[in-house]
Amino acid sequence: MTLAAHEQDNLLGKTRPTRESRMFNDQKMKLGIFSANCSGGIVMSDAPSGFRVTWDQQLDIARQADALGLEALVPVGRWTGFGGNTHVHAVCYETYTWAAGLAQATTDIEVFCTTHLPVIHPVVAAKMATTIDHISGGRFGMNLVMGWFTPEMELFGTKQLEHDQRYAYGQEWLDFAMRLWNEPGNFDFAGEYFNSTGAHAYPKPLQDPRPVLLNAGASPAGQRFSARNVDVNLIALPVDQIGGYVKNIKNLAHDEYERDIDVWTYCLVICRETEQEAKAAYRAIVDQGDWPGAQIVMDTLGIQSESFATQITSFKESFLTSWGGPCLVGTPEQVAEQFGELSDAGMGGAVFGFHDYVPELRYFGAEVMPLLRKYGLRH
């Protein structure tokens, strides 16, 4: 078959420019910034903070993270806030366009979108992803979300599927996108959820065979989806449960799908010069926490998402501070040690937020990063 000139351009992996993604480097503990595109970030509290969802702050955060050598910028995909006192995440940048803007403003860090598969058609998503992959020079990633928050799905008039069915939908969505990213010429797609005649997409992504993929599924169906498809499974667990979880999902990926997967966590970092100052900052977040908002999130997760089912009752306070993830609180030395504990437990990386991103990331870079290198977690 003779291909047209437009089809030959960036068609297959052999002809695509290649680059080494930071996501696959040899850092023992990979790091990224999480949830900086949404009001409140990773915190649900009225405690005073200078963090606001403005483009100037987004640029400052992204460029700091890039200069520090961090691996990833991972946003939260949100279409509506959660109510409560702070209406957390009600102010939120859309993540494909956010990623495109930050890709142009940075040089090496992997820039992710978070995409809700039920509300973005794979033909549209595949094209947008390829565009950002080209803007970034091959350092774009996608956090794939099945759509757990029913009010968001209702905004689009989309029926919320039963939990495991969402992952069946997600698998078909990704299968379709993979063909768009890799298959030459036109093809027909016939599935349970998608039907398309004469489908095609040009150009193809720079990354072969696709952008980096992340998924936060922790239920059995979510783990299986991650093991089969993605590069990183994002999970929050008590330290004593990390080792068994990591072993199980890595074995699942290797034994059933003949592939490797990494496991990262997400967390809040509160780092101050003294332990007393750090604990006081943590206590201020909790004391002025948005308890009604946290209850709304927890009720929703408990009813509609199996990923958090074991955490709902025992981690109420942690939803105020870090959406159920760990809080690393203390001096630079103590925070570095806590990253070490996560690494020793089996985590390959962590994406994290701050109560006030811009100044706290600057302090983290100056005080914690050298200690992570000292302890062999970074080089």
Core vs surface per residue 98-121: b (16+ CB within 10 A) or e: bbbbbbeebebbbbbbbbbbbbbe
What single-letter DSSP state applies at residue 187? E
The answer to whether position 341 is within a domain reads yes
Amino acid at 335: V
The answer to whether position 39 is within a domain reads yes
List the alpha helices (DSSP H) in 30-84: 55-67
Contact between 193 and 172 (Cβ < 8 Å): yes
Helix, strand, or coil (residue 145): strand
Query: Tell me, what's the pLDDT at 360?
Result: 98
Say how many domains are in the chain: 1
Closest CA to 322 of 357, 369, 285: 285
What is the distance between the alpha carbons of residues 293 and 15, in angstroms, rounded to a whole number?
Answer: 50
The answer to whether position 90 is within a domain reads yes
Amino acid at 175: D
Contact between 34 and 50 (Cβ < 8 Å): no
The answer to whether position 207 is within a domain reads yes
The answer to whether position 159 is within a domain reads yes
Q: Where are the beta strands (DSSP E) in the chain?
A: 30-34, 72-74, 110-116, 140-145, 187-190, 195-199, 212-215, 232-234, 262-271, 327-330, 349-353
The answer to whether position 21 is within a domain reads no
**Sign of the dihedral through C-alpha 106, 65, 308, 211:** positive
Query: Tell me, what's the pLDDT at 315?
Result: 63
Query: Structural domain of residue 281, as residue ranges?
Result: 5-13+30-374
The pLDDT tens digits along the chain (379 residues) read: 455 655 555 554 445 555 578 999 999 999 999 999 999 999 999 999 999 999 999 999 999 999 999 999 999 998 887 777 887 888 999 999 999 999 999 999 999 999 999 999 999 999 999 999 999 999 999 999 998 777 777 888 878 888 899 999 999 999 999 999 999 999 999 999 999 999 999 999 999 999 999 999 999 999 999 999 999 999 999 899 999 999 999 999 999 999 999 999 999 999 999 999 999 999 999 999 988 887 777 777 664 455 655 555 456 787 788 888 899 999 999 999 999 999 999 999 999 999 999 999 999 999 999 999 999 999 9
The answer to whether position 109 is within a domain reads yes
CATH number at 366 reads 3.20.20.30
What is the distance between the alpha carbons of residues 161 and 53, in angstroms, rounded to a whole number?
Answer: 32
The answer to whether position 20 is within a domain reads no
3-state SS track over 286-354? HHCECHHHHHHHHHHHHHHCHHHCCCCCCCHHHHHHHCCCCEEEECHHHHHHHHHHHHHHCCCEEEEEC
What is the distance between the alpha carbons of residues 135 and 96, in angstroms, rounded to a whole number?
Answer: 12
Cross-strand partners of 144: 115, 215
Query: Tell me, what's the pLDDT at 357?
Result: 98
Query: Tell me, what's the pLDDT at 309?
Result: 54
The backbone torsions φ and ψ at residue 296, rounded to the nearest 5 degrees and listed phi first, read -60, -45
- Give the contacts of 16 (CB within 8 A, at least 6 positions apart): 10, 138, 204, 205, 206, 207, 208
pTM surpassing 0.75? yes
